A = this chain, B = another copy of it.
Amino acid sequence: MPAPSKLYFEDFTPGRVFEHGPRRVTRDEMVAFAAEFDPQPFHLDEDAARATMLGGLAASGWFSCSILMRMSADSFVLNSSSMGAPGIEEVKWLGAIRPDDELTLRGTVSEARTSKSRPDMGFVRFEFELINGAGQRVMTLTTSLMMGRRGDRAP
């Protein structure tokens, strides 16, 4: 199978949707992440979590962001001219991510604009959603990626 054509700015037309998954997240990886980066009791311990408003062990929101990043990398970022992002416009943690949830990523291009200061690139805004196995949106994230332009490269 030939490698898929690399994606450039010009390929990210508003409305285009990228999907990836499902990707199962395990208790072990959620807890390992929390132990290193977000050791709040409701991310580490089932008993402690049960008494909180989360009602049970739930992933750190930063783990959720990191999994979204990995899924977007596996979906299209690693096969693109991405140069990273200057930041994040918004994250909403809408629902808890639980051990063994099967997550699907959907990323929709909402805007694409060329850069005035750097004509070799443009900004592609994505509305990302993480959806669990029950079809619930558990997280949304809006960010603009810097993408190199195809220019005179062969498509």
Chain A residues touching B, majority SS: mixed
Residue from A33, A61, A83 having most chain B Cβ neighbours under 10 A: A61
Query: For residue A65, which residue of chain B has the nearest CB?
Result: B62
**Given contacts A62-B65, A90-B88, is CB(A38)–CB(B73) below 8 Å?**
yes
Q: Is A78 an interface residue (CB 8 A)?
A: yes
Copies in the complex: 2
Question: How far apart are A96's CB and chain B's nearest CB, in angstroms?
Answer: 10
Residue from A40, A61, A84 having most chain B Cβ neighbours under 10 A: A84
Q: Is A54 an interface residue (CB 8 A)?
A: yes
Query: For residue A33, which residue of chain B has the nearest CB?
Result: B66
A45-59: CB near B (< 8 Å → 1, else 0) gives 000000011100000
Q: Which residues of B contact A83 (CB under 8 A)?
A: 52-53
On whether the beta carbons of B88 and A40 are closer than 8 Å, the reply is no
Query: For residue A139, which residue of chain B has the nearest CB?
Result: B87
A82 interface neighbour in B36, B40, B66, B86, Cβ under 8 Å: B40
* Chain A residues close to B by CB (< 8 Å): 33, 36-40, 42, 52-54, 60-62, 65-67, 69-70, 73, 77-78, 82-93
A-B pairs, top 6 by smallest CB distance, nearest first, are A88-B91, A37-B66, A87-B92, A87-B91, A37-B70, A62-B66
**Known pairs A37-B67, A38-B69, A87-B90 / 8 extra A-B pairs, C-beta < 8 Å:** A33-B66, A36-B70, A38-B70, A39-B78, A54-B84, A65-B65, A87-B92, A88-B90
